[in-house]
Amino acid sequence: MLAPILAALAAFGLTAGGLVVKSNAMATLWELGEDRTNPHDATRDLNAFCQQELIAHVLCALAFAAAGDLRGLLLSLPLACWHAAQHSRQRFAVDVTEILKRPELDRRKLENKVEVAAYALLLLYSAMSLVELLISWFLQDTMVEKLLQTVLGALTGHHQKHRDGGGEEPPPAL
């Protein structure tokens, strides 16, 4: 039961990392559109994580698969197809001469917004999936049963002592 939890934790971490990278890219594109940064610096920043993002997304999909989470795998599939299409068309990296054209910049901004939304959705889903796995693991464990039996035994034993006249007096009612 621990392996799916670790896989879900990995999927959560990788999705959070993807969201951070795409949010940083969104800020860079915004700064570029407002002429607040040098285009060469902006393209360097945007291209810095292209391969890492693809690798992280593949690892995230594998983590969903390892956790046995078919819904998470299916939810990450559109973004994986998008990354594969971008790489196959050689359009994943940003060209400094192309990004200066307004239609290209606007297209990149829109694509980035959609990717941020997809990563945010994946992050929420992976967090809920992780919590679900942790709760089911906690409730499934025999230690919880023993703890509940001990607590219930202590409570019923405490009430039994008061009924039999033993033990301390209960506090007076207010």
Q: What digits encode the pLDDT tens for the residues 57-74? A: 888 888 888 888 889 889
Mean pLDDT over residues 147-167, rounded? 66
**Cα torsion through 60, 62, 67, 68, rounded to 10:** 130
Q: Above pLDDT 70, what percent of the chain?
A: 86
Most confident of 66-70, 125-129, 138-142, 148-152: 125-129
Mean pLDDT over residues 1-12, rounded? 84
- DSSP 8-state secondary structure symbol assigned to residue 140: H
For the chain, helix, strand, coil in percent to 5 are 80, 0, 20
The span from the CA of 69 to the CA of 56, in Å, is 17
